[in-house]
Each structure stands twice: as C-alpha cells, then as structure tokens.
Chain A
C-alpha cells in the first residue's frame, strides 16, 4: 500500500493530542457534598455492571484513537500498488442467429461467450481496459473501455443475441477505431464461424461437440392434380436422425411424415394435398429438441385475391361488363354517364368512351377509347389526344419493353393476331409506360399514381378491335384489375435482417402489424410506403382498415437466414495491426495504484457510529 498524499499523515499527530487531552481530562473535579454516605453505599448497587460499562472509557479512547488515525490515513489517499500489462481489449461477440444454438445442457453459444468474457474481465490487470462489441446487423459497443468487473457484468447481462446476421467486418472496424485511439488493442472474437485466414485477432470458437440443429431451409407450393403440393428441404447438422415433419394448413395439422436425416445433407420432402381447394397459410414443422427452435418450421403465405367494387361508365360496356361479372369477387355497377356523385366508393373506375368531371381519388382508373371532353383535361395526366387514325393495324407488345408494369400486365398473355381498325394517336410524357402498341403509336399505356393507384388507357374502341374476342382479353383485364390497386405486400416471404416494404393503401385509416409474439406495431397512415424491420422469425400479419370500414390484411413469413442454420465459414478477417505491435503491447508492464479511499471512508463511518454508540451509552 502507498499513500498518494503522504503529507496528510501529519494528521496522525492528532493521536498525541488525544492522549494529552485524555491525560488532562482524567483529573476529577473536586465537588463537595453534604455527605458521600449514599454515594458510597451506591457502589454496592453498581457492582453488577456490564463489561461494556467497565470498559466504556477505554473503548471510547480506543475508538477515538482509531478515528483520528483513520481520518489521517484516508486523507493521505491510501492506494494499493498494482502491476500489470496496460492493454485495451476489444472483445467481439458474434450475435448472429446461429449463436442461439444451445448445447445439450440448454446453454447457447452466445451465453457461453458472455460467461467467458465475464471470466476474462475478472483477470483484467490494473491499467487495462475492456470493450465489448456486439456484432449484430449493426455492431455497437456493449461497454466501452471499462475496467470495473461490476460494470462489465452489468453490460453483459443486458446483451441479447439477434436472430439475424452479424456484421463482423463492421465490428472489427469499431475495434480498429479503438486501436487508433489507444495505440494498442488486443482483439478477441467469440464466434461459431470458421475463418480461413485471421490476422491480429484471437478467435474463440463457441461451438460445442454436443451442438445439434435441424432446420427447414425452404418451402414452396405448386398447383397439382386439382390440389397443391408442398415441397421443400431440411437439414440436420451434427446428427443422423429420423424426425417427424407435420404440415399445418390454416391452423390445422393436415399431414405428417417421418424424414430420415443424414448429418450435413439436405433432405427434400413433399406433402401432396390433391383435394385441397385453397389455403392461406401452410406451415411445415419439424418435431425436434435441437439447439435452435426458430428454424424448425417454415411457412408459405398465399397472397389472396381481394374483392373489387367496379364502376363501368359508357354506353356500350358489354365486353368489359361481361368479363368482370364473370369474376365472383367483383361487384359491377354500370352507368351510362360519369355522374359526379358516382366518383367515390369504388375500387376500379372504367370510363369507356367518356371522361369524368374530376379524377376519382379512391380507386384505379381505366380509360377506354378516350374522347376530348370539357370535363377533364387529360393533359394534366400527361396525355394529349391526337388524331383518330383509321387503319387496320396489329396490336403487339413492344419488343424493347421491360418495365415492371409491362411484366405484370402482360403476364400469361401472348396476344397473337390482335388487331384494330381505328385508334387515337396519343402523345404521352415519360411517366407513362407503354404496354401495347399499334404501328408506331401506343395503344395501351399505364402509370402508377403517387398513391399507388394505377391509371391505364386503351387508345382504341374495343368494338373496332378483335381483342375482346381473344382469350387473352380475360387475362389482360384480370392482370389490370390485380395490379391497378396497390397491395400491402407484393411478396410474403422475407429473411430476417431484411426490411419488409409495405404499402399504405389509399384512404387507409389504421395500419398495424401483429408480430409472432402478439405484439402490435402501429404505422402512420399518411405515407405511401413503410418499412418493417422484423426482429424475430415467424408469421406476421399486416392489417389495414379503410375509411369504408373494410379491412384488408395479409400474412407474411419471416424466416431465419438459412445460412445461420448451416455450418458457417468465412474467408479472411483481420485488423491493420502488426504482430510486432501486438507483442510489444502485451508485454509492456505498468505500475499503478487502486485507490482505497472509499474503503477507508466506509470504515471511518462505522468507527464514528461505534464511537457515538459508546459515547452515548450510559451517558446522562
């Protein structure tokens, strides 16, 4: 032990002062009484005194002596001399999903890493400090340059492993930053990934021999024999085994089968459901008590076709009307003229040979054979109507078309031998995408409005074309209907770690997502698109309620990154620190001192309390 302010030890002279005070105070003041008879008699009654009463004076002296000595020593800043290497440690914990794999005892790789770091913190030399970096999607410091075991343990207790990927290079960049700050850093990575080349990093493999994990790595379906086939692949790592896989459709277990797994080999499986008419969610689950439960199931969510309320305005809407009325989910309203009071409350507005007074805002719009009208200025939409061309022309798909709209609106359409006699020449701006052409002119154009609703236009009269007679006409209208109204989601299978883009439907009043943990995440409805960053694998439900009270929902599945279920290997990792630097750094010894002031202060407080206790004991 040494003293950082030894001059304060002069206060020890107070001990001598105390002794002198006691010597002076030990004199008894004379006091004359009429008689001491009763006082002498009282000695007999005071014989059975407690030891503390007899020792009170001595104890008081001793405690006061210790108090003075304690005050002097505390003021001198006592410190414990410490020796050690002055090193900054950067400990990186791989917090990818695979680190959640538990061993036979139920302890995960991540938990083992935390224990190891805690043990490491216990052996931390004086002068050294320790930083813990949590390498998740976005690595961050769990604790930075700490040397208190308590602080480190506290930080470790708050650490949580993610279910996604880990960005080890980004974590190493953080550690490199520490190196630039301190000039010396020793980096340790706790991971379950094999790296081919490692430089200046100590790798601690957190895998255990008893680790075993099975995972379903994929699941899909196909229409077959009037029903559906569900097929996918599963994998067992660390064990040859036979497991039961079950198929659940919309919450009911429909089928189950035994699957034989060979260690490390993909095993395909198929569930055939020939009589199945439809389904919303199909889940395959493996019954296994393995290291990680989150990858033992996989779900496919089928996008449902939504009902549509359609308005057709025109004097001769027969073709269109018959196509949509043949579709059970469509409710068709027909009007000869686009009256203003009809311009709200529909999902899809079709104007055949006419134009509305104002553009409807709550639904998609399809113009057929547009005409000049005082009702609506088409130039505000980026269209100028040209001359009417009377010529027999073939309707074809442009050879150079590759836009997103083109793909979805011509999906399944060949349009062989389509032709027209009369069409209007259109001059369009670049916001429009041409789907079909006749000659040099666009015949079928489309564009999506900022609110996600599509506006499309056929530049010819259907009655002057053979298209309604073609079988492709139904597909074309269906494609247009399906893709004119925005969808909440355009796909239903996502990998954890990626963002889930969702559309806010026009006139949506509430929008929330229910997570696998039954948590409800609410989103604002004033935007067009929102992003969700799932944190857990499982089935999510996105739900939006329209101003009409109609609810639209869609389920989607977020699966664990498949790579996290497999044995992971990496290439090169390293930091720009030379081995010589590292060697020099760890061998450099330093001397320091840990202040013991607070311990002495605590002891002083106890002494003070004891002194008060003894002083006031038996005092009048």
Chain B
C-alpha cells in the first residue's frame, strides 16, 4: 500500500480546520471555544459582581451608567477529544483506488486537523465486533509527533473479514462524552446496525459525522451473464450473503433503485439526528473532497 501521508498532503491540510459546530465541555487547555467561562480574549457575557471576584474584570463603564458593579466574562478555550472509527472489513479493500486507502487518508487528514487545533484524537479500527485502538501503547494522539507515529501505524492497517459497526462502536469503553467529534468512515454497505452506533455517539453528546466511501463500480456495476455473487466478507460459498444473479436490464434497474433507496435512508437518518453525512467515490481526489464536499457539508472549514 502507498504511504498514506506525504508532505504535500500535510501542507494542504495546514490551510484547513475541523469545524466544531456545537460548543462542548472538553478538557482544559486547547483552542476550542467551550460553554465554560475562562480567560480567553473572547468576550462572553456580563455578571454582577460578587465578593471574591477578580476586581480587574469589573466593567467600570457599566458602573458609571448603572451604578452597579458588573463583571466581564470571557469564553474558556478547551481541548476536544475526537474519535475516528475506520471500518476495516474486507469490503473496504475494494475499488480503484481502494476504499481502504481513501479511508485511511481521510483518517489521517482528520487526525492532523485535530492535533493541529491542540485537540486529542483517537483512531479506532472496527474489525468484527471489536473496536481496536490504532496503537495499543498510545491510544490518544496528542501533538504532531504522536500524529506521525499514528500515521505510520495507519500504513500497516489490514482490511479483512467483516465488521459489525454497531456492536464495535457501542462496545468501545472510551466514551469521551461531550468532548469532541466522532467520525465513522465506512462504505455502510453492511447488514450491521450502524444506526445504533451513530445514535449512541449522539447520546453521548458527541458531534457525529458519517463518511461513506464507495468505489465507482459499486455505483455503476459492469457485470454480465449469470453470476454467483460472492461477498468479499464471507468465507464460505453457502453464506446467505452470497447470491446467484443473472445480469439483465431489469436487474440493473433494481440495483439502481436499491442503491438510491439505501442512500436516501442514510440521509434521512442523519438529517433527523443532526448527524453530518458525506459520501464520496474513490476516484474523486481526496483534496477535492476536503475542500469542496466536506467544506460544503460543514465538516471542515
């Protein structure tokens, strides 16, 4: 596999930032606006003076007008903790270029943007029903050094078997409630309950983004004849996911209808739960995705 990180790509990312739409609690330290009042230069509100308050924050202009003491409050800047979940099933290792490579590049981009904003980033690999950290010894990426180590680790990620997104995400012990964005990168062409995963992330007050990566031949398959369609995530031919199919005009029409229905289903689900959703095809350059589709969707600014 090609190296998921290169200098040009990082230079590109330096001009971007993750867009956090909601004000979150986060941890102390960092650069993200939060709901708490702190010592940032950004004005937030006024409050009546109470004994013990710092006298330097009293707004004397207001005292002149109202003859009451008011204190100027400032926003606090916090550090967020972003989670990136990568679907590592065999179906992701498909397409030209492979969906897996595209997903990893996306994860790298998001990680870099996170650590660049002084946030903490955790990358999880979804494999079977498990949610595995990218690096066991360093579960959280903080700072650029850690990022480069994580990027190195991403070059070694294997995509095989199946992945139960629902079970894997919900079983992740690192809930990181209220403090960041959770990204799920997958093709979402799965029987697993990915909706449960997304709902749980939302219930943990995390901003959630679903990124769907598809290969071109999944949108417009070019098949002919009578075929035994084998799912790449199955091991045995008798698996119920495998099927016999004759490629006819009506079969392709039905495929197009099913695909449209599936995409609409994801859109409607995300819209009803204020979950951001973008879909991309691997033959679209990732730079275009980041600058255009992701920016339009409000994921990146």
Contacts and interface: CB of A to CB of B under 8 A. Distances in A.
Contact of B249 (A34, A36, A43, A618): A618
Contact of A620 (B95, B99, B224): B224
Contact of B218 (A27, A38, A49): A38
B258 A36 contact: no
Contact of B227 (A28, A35, A38, A40): A28
B91 A41 contact: no
Interface stretch (B6-14, B196-204, B239-247): B239-247
Interface string B190-229: 1100000000000000000000000100100101111111
A618 B250 contact: yes
Q: Is the interface of B mostly helix, strand, loop or mixed?
A: mixed
Contacts of B44: none
A584 B51 CA distance: 149
A10 interface: no
Given A38-B255, A40-B243, A30 B187 contact: no
A45 B259 CA distance: 10
Q: Is the interface of A mostly helix, strand, loop or mixed?
A: mixed
Interface string A27-64: 11111111111111111111001000100010000000
Nearest to B245: A39
A252 interface: no
A617 to B, nearest CB: 9
B49 interface: no
B189 interface: yes
Contact of A34 (B95, B228, B258, B262): B95
Contacts of A27: 226
B255 to A, nearest CB: 5
Contacts of A33: 221, 229-232
Contact of A30 (B99, B228, B250, B261): B228
A533 interface: no
Interface residues of A, number: 28
A32 B90 CA distance: 11
A29 B258 contact: no
Nearest to B214: A34
A28 B230 CA distance: 11
Nearest to B219: A38
A28 B226 contact: yes
A31 B223 contact: yes
Q: Name, among A25, A26, A34, A44, the residue most crowded by chain B CB atoms within 10 Å (CB to CB).
A: A34
B148 interface: no
Nearest to B191: A37
B252 interface: yes
Contacts of B227: 28-31
A57 B244 CA distance: 15
Interface in B255-276: 255, 257-259, 261-262
29 contacts: A28-B244, A29-B226, A29-B228, A30-B230, A31-B229, A32-B230, A32-B231, A33-B229, A33-B231, A34-B187, A35-B232, A35-B233, A36-B229, A36-B230, A37-B189, A37-B231, A38-B255, A38-B258, A39-B243, A39-B255, A42-B255, A42-B258, A43-B254, A45-B258, A49-B250, A53-B250, A619-B248, A619-B249, A620-B252
